[in-house]
Structure 1
Amino acid sequence: MPLDVTYKLQVPHKPGQLQKVAAVIADHKGLIGDIVTIHLGRELTDREITVEVRDPQHGAELAASLSGLEGVRLVWHHDRAFLRHEGGKLRTEAVTPVRTPQEMRDVYTPGVARVCSAIAENPQLAAKFTSIGRTVAICTNGSRVLGLGDIGPVASMPVMEGKAVFYSQFAGISAVPVLVDTKDVDEFVETVVRIAPSFGGIHLEDISAPECFEIERRLIERLGVPVMHDDVHGTAVVSVAAVLTVCRALGRDLGEVTVGQLGLGAAGYGIAALVAEAGAAAVVAFDPNGDSHGRAGEAGIEVTTMDDVFARADIVVATTGRPGLITPSMVRPGQAILALTNPIAEIDPDAALAAGAGFAADGRSVNNVIGYPGIFRGALLAGADRITSGMKLAAARAISELTEGDDLVPDALEAAVHTRVAEAVHAAALEEGHARPDQAPSGL
């Protein structure tokens, strides 16, 4: 699996020295990323150079060659991901500091008792006077984490922290990882129901199928707050946005396009079901694992063979988890191929284009970070009791409309994208009658 390694180097402060370093990296087939100057001295310059390498051994070989350069000192080299995770990625902080005795009386005793009593008399006031309405629980049992499989709840924590970082940065939402140490559906549901009063929404993450569908269904039934399994619906929203963008690039309406879905796991089923609701002319699907969860027919998805998918689909979306599944000979001229399995796709986009595809992209272009922060922000701002298909489709259309140039979806780091998604979801909640203004939080 490729990884980013940062090399801290002391390099002579002379012309051509950085070029020598870059030449060694190129000889090792490394891909240079960030170059940060830490110290610019009279004799030496300290730089941190990040390089994408194939694996740890490749990174070590490059380190040895850099150390061998005359006049260059390799101070250290580390896997960049571990550098960014040291100490964790989250902490809890007060909205405002307490600096005086009066402020202590305001936020704690005796003032806090009056606010507690008011909420006891009218629970709806919690949305205004506590953080509940702008806080989301990210709940997982770690049974299907990224491409790693069942690694358990504790090992999944870095993913949950990462999700929480994006909630804070892009949506102004506090998100709390909740690790639920059980694979039993009943126990998982009961655990989340018991902690749900602390949160304005429940984000389900990295739970294996088909259990994730049952868990989500039961929590939606029992809780009057937005509940969404991001692997199913967040991925679906961004993927449908990509499909809409491809349709626009091809000059075709979704209503005259057949979409093929390879893989009917959590993400694949969510994509196929949502693109069917979006109005695709037809949705045909094949799962190499034979896993359709018995739901495909109800969602307007026709399960067929892989050959038939390629024969009929104008756009093929693949989420199979099987690198190299699609061979160039399968691709029809003009067909659009979105091979989304990470880190290695079902087919390399360049290979698909060389085989005649009219459009091709991989999972690096489609990231559900573009979807879930704005979706939950819009739902919370509306005080919505659920996240509906209409709200998800509104988010997908907003994302697609903001896409420019040859991109499939906008840059996930663009704050305006998340604001627009939230606005679209909020408007859809109002239109559908799912908004509850008295449940909307203050300060979000």
Structure 2
Amino acid sequence: MAIPTDSRLGASVNGDLADRVQQLRLDNQLGAAKSGGGGSWLPWVLCGLLAVTWTGVGARWYKAAPAKDDAPSATPAASPGTGPAPGTQAGGAPAAEPGALVTQLKGTVIPSLQVTVSPRDVAAEITELFFAEGKRVKQGDRLATLLDHQYANRLKTEDASVKSAEAQVTRSAAAKAAAEAKVAKAESALASAKARLTRALASQDRATKDFAQAKRQDATGTISTQDYQKFEADKLGADADKVAADADVEAARREIDAANADVNTAKATMTAAAADLGAAEARRDEAKRLVENCCVTAPIDGTILTKSADRGALVSPMSFNVAAGICSIADLSKLEVEIDVPERQITRLRAGQECLLQADADPSRSYRGVVDRVMPIADDTKNVVKVRIRVYLAKTEEPGTFLKPKMGITSTVYEKAFALDPARDYLWGDEAGRQKDWAAGWKKK
């Protein structure tokens, strides 16, 4: 091959390429004879193909040349014990200017509050339904009625048990009152016996003194035998009356003890009857609750999202083989957007940042939002961290008319603190507490 001269050093790349192609002419090698003055077309075709190829490579390189927003920038390594470099956030991410766009990611609308409605503690057949998908309901509105024959019969049985227990309480109270009356009567008898004993003691004392005097007189012979015998008989009678009075007192005391025992027995019986009554009333209340639960009501204000069962279906929240839910309800006035933030960008997001939310269904319709919370756990399968953005609907928009759960949303986050506009935003009602968390998150720069 000839060594190039100085004049060829300034030739273009395409010229060199043409020279090389000219050297690789295949017509001489193939022995093809050419007419005088005419060149082969094959080298020029190859030149054109190579030129097109290099043009395409250059165009692709030109498009890929600008660096992406989320590409990590090279930052000088910080020495141990020092903070982040000036103009950077913790983790080496470049600090965004106030009001600048932080990131723009796709997300999905989810309700902040969604409830699956099912019967509570009852399993029965659905006899009536009073809702349809998309219907707005208030808390306490009736949604469905279940067949309640089994629970109604149980309620009747428990009602009868309560009445029987009440009758037992009444009987035990009457027995207690009778025993107390018996005690009072025995106490009265004891008082009478004590009074007789007192009189007997007085008579005995008087008769004893009279008989002692009669004995002295009999010793001197100043009393007749008849009078002496009379005083002796009076003394013996007084002694007998005293013994009888003692016996009456003792009998009255024993009668009081027996009556008190009857009172204690009646009290115990009444206590047991009252306990039985309480148990019967509890069973009746439980049976009544189950009957009431056969009427399924809305637990929250919201919109019916899905219907899981229809009339005639058997629902049972306590069985794995039978459907448990009837429908799902969500409050569509309180929506959130869940976005998956790459781990390398998560330090750019924090609670309190303002967001612009645009639905894929109508990008011209936008909503205000705020970064509400960063989830405390990452998804190691996708190397992302989920972030929840709170959506604030306009007061003029009826909840659920456009923005719906599972819609696609483009979420644009700005380096700007979110500020509520009570005159424009449909408030959630918990802003007093959440604003403190947003303010604390915004300060963590």
| TM-score over 0.5 for the pair | no
TM-score (normalised: structure 2): 0.19
Greater RCO, CA 8 A, separation 6+: 2
Q: Which structure has the larger Rg over C-alpha atoms? A: 2
TM-score (normalised: structure 1): 0.19
